Amino acid sequence: MSPAARNSPGLSSDSASVQDYVKVIYAFTEWQDKPVTMTALAARLKVANSSVTEMVRKLVDLGLANHKPYNPVELTPEGLRLALLMVRRHRLLETYLVHELGYGWDEVHNEAELLEHTVSDTLVDRMSARLGHPDRDPHGDPIPSADGTIELPAAHVLSTLDEGHQGRVARISDANPHLLRYLSDEEIRLDTAVTMLGRKPFGGALTVQVGSGGRVRELDLGDELAASVWVMTEGRHEGCTLEKS
pLDDT of residue 203: 82
Q: What is the pLDDT, as a whole number, of residue 2?
A: 37
Q: CA–CA separation, 169 vs 90, rounded Å?
A: 21
42-96 pLDDT, tens digit per residue, is: 999 999 999 999 999 999 999 999 999 989 999 999 999 999 999 999 999 999 9
Of 18-22, 42-46, 234-238, where does the model show the most confidence?
18-22
3-state secondary structure of 173: coil
Relative to beta strand 193-199, strand 166-172 is: antiparallel
- Which domains are seen in the chain, by residue range? 7-150 (1.10.10.10), 154-236 (2.30.30.90)
Which helix (H) or strand (E) segment holds residue 144: the answer is none
Q: How far apart are CA 105 and CA 124, in angstroms?
A: 19
| Residue 171 · residue 153 · CB < 8 Å | yes
Q: What is the pTM for the complete model shown?
A: 0.86
